[in-house]
Amino acid sequence: MTTQLECLDEHRCFGGRQLRYRHRSESVDGDMTFSIFLPPGNEDTAMPVLWWLSGLTCTDQNFVQKAGAQRKAAELGLIIVCPDTSPRDAGVPGEDDRYDLGSGAGFYVDATQDPWSEHYRMYDYVTRELPSVIREHFNVAQAQSISGHSMGGHGALVCALKNPGKYASVSAFSPIVNPTECQWGVDAFQTYLGEDRASWSEYDACELVRKNTARQPLLVEQGEADNFLDEQLKPDRLEAVCQELDHPLTLNMRPGYDHSYFFIASFIDEHLDYHARHLSGA
């Protein structure tokens, strides 16, 4: 069945096009929006996709408007797809009561607990449904990579580690690497997944590195002046488990940088270059 797309916004950008669409999603049983940057020449040439997963309180627009990624993406021939971070107006009681739960806080998991399980299925949406929609409507190559920030950095690491070989590369800015052991993650996982902590480990990058026989290299960018560094993000835990198991990890600790999009904009070109090399097979 063909998925119908409603174009909400379109802008010419560095010779390409920045667009925003709405569609009906089977995964979340409701409407979803996504943004997509199409580089110049994509009309005639299939180009690889970089998925960008955003963080708490964000929509599909934050990265588009603040990261300044389009110039480099146009130069490299990278399509960038930015999904929203949760369903919107799903009618779940309490979904708009907190910034770290519900709207804008899907945590890229498939909820198993009522009433969230009917709509909050963001893992299925970003790994299965939306890629199918993108392939259906746009001129994309098979190669894809994934990145994200904060909650979205968590999502990017989890998607890559749970699907060996699916993504040519993965990177993350300020990711929540051990959500089963931080308050943001515990609150979200209890709500979406219930009290069985074994199910939580399926969405925890540190636990997935322990379980996983795949050797997906991880690239993590972290600001040392990040207000959430010690209580929520805990990159030292990912570093420790990767060292223990000899799992490839590049952890760049950046003095003076915080959790904001100023940090992302400062290093996004390096990450796009990194993904482009892997997507080309270099």
Interatomic CA distance for residues 119 and 243, integer angstroms = 38
Interatomic CA distance for residues 192 and 110, integer angstroms = 8
Task: Name the token pair of 87.
Answer: 């369903």
Q: Catalytic one among 226, 271, 275, 278?
A: 226
**How many C-beta atoms lie closer than 10 Å to residue 167's C-beta?**
24
Q: Which of 148, 143, 155, 150 is nearest to 171 (CA)?
A: 148
Q: Catalytic one among 25, 145, 147, 150?
A: 150
Interatomic CA distance for residues 147 and 89, integer angstroms = 26
Pairing of strands 170-173, 218-223: parallel
Which uninterrupted H or E stretch holds 65? helix 62-66
Task: Name the token pair of 270.
Answer: 């390096």
Question: Is 259 among the residues known to form the active site?
Answer: yes
Half-sphere exposure of 39 (CA within 13 A, CB side): 21
Question: Is 199 among the residues known to form the active site?
Answer: no
3-state secondary structure at position 168 = coil
Vertex 169: Cα angle to 201 and 251 (nearest 5) = 70
**How many C-beta atoms lie closer than 10 Å to residue 280's C-beta?**
12
Q: Which of 73, 92, 210, 81 is nearest to 152 (CA)?
A: 81
**DSSP character at residue 8:** E
Q: Catalytic one among 149, 154, 259, 278?
A: 259
Question: Is 100 among the residues known to form the active site?
Answer: no
Q: Which residues are catalytic?
A: 150, 226, 259
